[in-house]
Structure 1
Amino acid sequence: MDNSAKKNELDHAWKPVILSPRNQEDTDVVKKLKDTGKVMFFDTFELQLTELIKARNPKRNLSLEELSEKKADFFSASGKSSMESGNWVYYPWRNTLVRILEENEFVQLRTVRNRYKITQEEQEKLQNQVIGVIGLSVGQSVALCLAMERCFGELRIADFDTLDLSNMNRIRTGLFNLGIKKSWIVAREIAEIDPYLKVTLFNEGVTESNLETFFTWEGKKLDVLIEECDSLPIKLLSRIQAKAMRIPVMMDTSDRGMMDIERFDREPERPIFHGLLEAFGEEKSLLAKLPENGKEVMMALLQFENLSDRVKYSFSELGKSITSWPQLASSVILGGAACCHYARMLLLGQELASGRFYVDLDHIINLNEG
C-alpha cells in the first residue's frame, strides 16, 4: 500500500466526507453509496431548515403557510433548489450518509442556544482559536465539551493509546470501540456532532520528537494547551515548551475538582507548576532527574497532602491491588466541563489568573451541612 492510499485509509477511520449536491462528482459518489443498498441515509434537511427559519423569526409563531413562504424565499435567495441545498456527510465508520445544512446555516442553528451566554461576537472569535489536548481520558470530556459549545477553529488531540474495557468507567463510548485508538473515538464523536469542525490527530501521542510540531502544526501556534496525560516527562516537557512559546496551560486532576491554570502568555517567567518543583533544581534539568526522583516529583506537583483521602490510600496500593490510580466518571466529566469553561474565558480575554483551586463537591456539601 503506497503512502497516499494508507493516508486515505487512516482518514476514513475517523474523518467524515462532506459531499455537495451542487458538485456532479460528489453527487455521483452519493448515488453510488445509495445504490449499494448497504448505506444508511438520513435526510432531515427540511426539518433543519424549518428550525432555522423559526430561529430567525423569534418574535412570531409562524403558520404552516408562512413557513412554506419563507422556505421558498430561502431557496430563491440562495439561487438553489431544495435538492441542491445543504450537504451530504458520509461517515465511513458507520457506513451512513446524513444530509445537513450548509456550514454557515448549520453553525448558526447549532449555536443558537448558546446565546447570550456566548455572544455572537464571542462565538465568531472562538472560531479562530486553536486548542491542544494531550491525553484523552479526561481529555475526551474536555474535547467533547469544547466541540459542543464550538469553542475552537481547530482542535489538536493527542493520545497513543487504544480503548480498554477498564477505561469505560470514565470514557463515554460503546463496547464496539474496544481496541480502537482513543484519538479516533474522540474525532469520530466530534464529527458526528459537527462535521465542519477541524480536528487534527496525533495518533502516536506527544513525544519529545514531535512536541514542537504539535504546538505549531501547519504554522498555527496553539492558543491554549490542556494537558491531561499520565506521562510525567510529557507533563514537564509540554509546560517547558508552552512557557517558551508563551502559551497558557490548563490541567484537571479528577480529584477534588482541582483545576490548575498557568498563564505563561501573561507571565513568561512564571515557574512551571507554580514553583512546586523548585526543590528539584532548574526546570531544564528536571527530566534527567526523573529516573531517581520520579515518585517524589509526582507527589510534589500533585501536592499529595491536598489529595482526597481515598486517592492518597490508592497510591499505597499501586503495584499491589491496582495498576493505576482511580478516576471516576463524575470527576472526569466535571473536570472536562471546568476545562472547557475556563478555556473559553481565557480565549475570550476574560479575567483569569494563574493558580490552583478546587471545586470539591464533598467539601461544598459539608460546608452547607455545617
Structure 2
Amino acid sequence: MIEILDPMIHAERLAYLLRPAARYGLVDAWTSASDELAAIDPTAGPIASRYVVYPWRKTIVRLPEADTFWRLRTARNRYLLDEAEQRRWSAALVGVAGLSVGASALSVCSLTGARRFRLAEHDRLSITNLNRLSASVCDLGLPKLTIAQRRVLETDPYSELFALPDGYTPAAAADFLGTGPGDEPLTVLVEEMDDLPAKIDIRRRARAAGIPVVMATDNGDNAIVDVERFDLDRDYPIFHGLAGDLAGATGDDLADPRTRARIAQRIVGADLTPRTRFSLTEVGRSLTSWPQLGTAATVAGAAAAYAARMVATGHGLPSGRYRVDLDRAMLGPAADATDGWNELGEGDFLAAMSANSEGRQEK
C-alpha cells in the first residue's frame, strides 16, 4: 500500500515521484523530528531519513528511519509505560477480526505503540456505519479493511500488516492465528465479528493453540469486555461457559436463527442498559442489527485495546467479564431507571426476548 524509500538507494524513484508531473505533495517532518529528538536525547547522533509514499493521498512524507521514528512516537508514553512494557507491546502480534468496534481497538493499539497486526474483514463502508466508524463520506464503498490499514499506516508507516480481505474463515484460520508449521502465533486476539459461527470457530481454534481472546461489546454508551485467557488455561470454557456446551454444535445447528438468537442472548446476558434491552427486542423488527453508538464503539475500542495490552505485556488480567460504564459513573442510580418508553427492566427484557424466540420458532 505504501513505499518506504531510502534517499541513497532509491534516489531515482524519489526524483521521479517528486517531479511536477507526478503531482505528489511533500511533507517534510525532518526538521521538527530532529529538534524533538535532541530535546529527549541530547546525546543522539545523526539520524537517517526515509521518504514514505502514500498513493491514496498523493503525498510523500520525509520521516526518520524506523527505530528513531518509534522513539519519537512513543516518547510521551514514557513512565506511563516503562521501556520493557513498551518494547513488549510493540513486538506483540495482535490479531483483529472484525473492523467495526475492531477498527477502534486497532487504532488505539496502534496509537499506544503496537506495530504488528493481522487483520480480517470482508465488509465495505456504508452510510449506516458512519455513526460509529471514524471514516469519511469520501470512503463510502471502500473495504473497511482498506480504511483501517490506511489509518494504521498513516500513524506508523513502519507497522507490519497482514490482511485477510475475505474476512476470517475456517479455511484461513491457520494463516490468521499463526497455527501452521513454522508460523508465529498471535500474541493476543481481539475478536469483534458479527457472525456467531465464526466467533465460535475462532475461539475453538484459539483455545487449542493457547491464544488469549479479548472481545468488547457495545452496551448503550458503555462497553462490556470479555477476556478469555486460553494461554493460561486451555480448558477454559469459551464465552465463560455462558453459551452452554457448544462442543457438539455443528454448522447446521448454528445456521438455525433460533439457535443463534438463543446463544447470543446467553452470551450477552441481561445486565445491560435499559435502552439497550429495549433496542435488542427490536432487532429483526425495526432494527436490522445490534444497536450501536459512536460513544460505545470508542469506549469499547479503548477498553479492548487496554485489555489486549495488559495481556501482551504480562500483566495478570484474569479471564472474566468487565463492565466499562459511563452511565453508572456519571448518572449513578439514575442510569438504571426504566421510566422511558424505550427502556426495559431486566424481567421485561427477558420475557420479551423469550417471546421473540418463540415467535421465530413458530415461523
TM-score bucket (shorter structure): 0.7 to 0.9
Counterpart for residue 56 of structure 1: 41
Counterpart for residue 92 of structure 1: 55
Counterpart for residue 18 of structure 1: 4
Distance 1:21 1:195 in 2: 16
Distance 1:126 1:214 in 2: 19
Q: Shift of the alpha carbon at 1:194? A: 0.6
Letter in 2 for 1:354: S
Q: Shift of the alpha carbon at 1:308? A: 2.0
User: When the two structures are superposed, what TM-score results if normalisation uses the length of structure 2?
Assistant: 0.86
Letter in 2 for 1:254: D
> Percent identity at matched positions?
33
Confirm or deny: 8 A CA contact 2:310 2:317 kept in the other structure.
Answer: yes
Paired residue for 1:144, among 107, 116, 119?
Answer: 107
Q: Shift of the alpha carbon at 1:212? A: 2.0
Confirm or deny: 8 A CA contact 2:243 2:264 kept in the other structure.
Answer: no
C-alpha deviations, 1:318-348, integer Å up to 9, x for none? 2332211211111111111111111111111
Counterpart for residue 359 of structure 2: none
Counterpart for residue 355 of structure 2: none
Paired residue for 2:17, among 24, 29, 33?
Answer: 33
Q: Shift of the alpha carbon at 1:37? A: 4.5
Distance 2:242 2:119 in 1: 27
Distance 1:368 1:109 in 2: 44
Q: Shift of the alpha carbon at 1:30? A: 1.1
Confirm or deny: 8 A CA contact 1:91 1:97 kept in the other structure.
Answer: yes
Q: Is the partner of 1:273 in helix, strand or coil?
A: helix
Q: Is the partner of 2:62 in helix, strand or coil?
A: strand
Q: Is the partner of 1:90 in helix, strand or coil?
A: strand
Confirm or deny: 8 A CA contact 1:236 1:287 kept in the other structure.
Answer: no
Distance 1:141 1:298 in 2: 22
Paired residue for 2:28, among 43, 55, 69?
Answer: 43
What is the RMSD computed on CA atoms of the aligned residues? 1.8
Distance 1:299 1:368 in 2: 25
Paired residue for 2:227, among 253, 261, 282?
Answer: 261
Counterpart for residue 89 of structure 2: 126
**Where has structure 1 moved over 4 Å in runs of 4 or more?**
none
Cα distance change, pair 369–232 in 1 and its aligned pair in 2 (3 A): closer
Confirm or deny: 8 A CA contact 1:252 1:260 kept in the other structure.
Answer: yes
Q: Which runs of 5+ in 2 are unaligned?
A: 336-363
How does 1:320-331 map onto structure 2 within 5 Å?
320-331=285-296
Question: 286-295 or 168-177, which moves further after superposition?
Answer: 286-295
Counterpart for residue 279 of structure 2: 314
How does 1:1-370 map onto structure 2 within 5 Å?
15-23=1-9, 26-35=10-19, 36-57=21-42, 74-75=45-46, 85-152=48-115, 154-216=116-178, 219-255=183-219, 256-278=222-244, 281-285=245-249, 287-292=251-256, 293-303=259-269, 305-367=270-332
User: When the two structures are superposed, what TM-score results if normalisation uses the length of structure 1?
Assistant: 0.85
Q: Which runs of 5+ in 1 are unaligned?
A: 1-14, 58-69, 79-84
Distance 1:55 1:20 in 2: 25
Distance 2:80 2:103 in 1: 23
Confirm or deny: 8 A CA contact 1:290 1:297 kept in the other structure.
Answer: no
C-alpha deviations, 1:241-266, integer Å up to 9, x for none? 11100111010101142110001111
- Equivalent pairs, count: 328
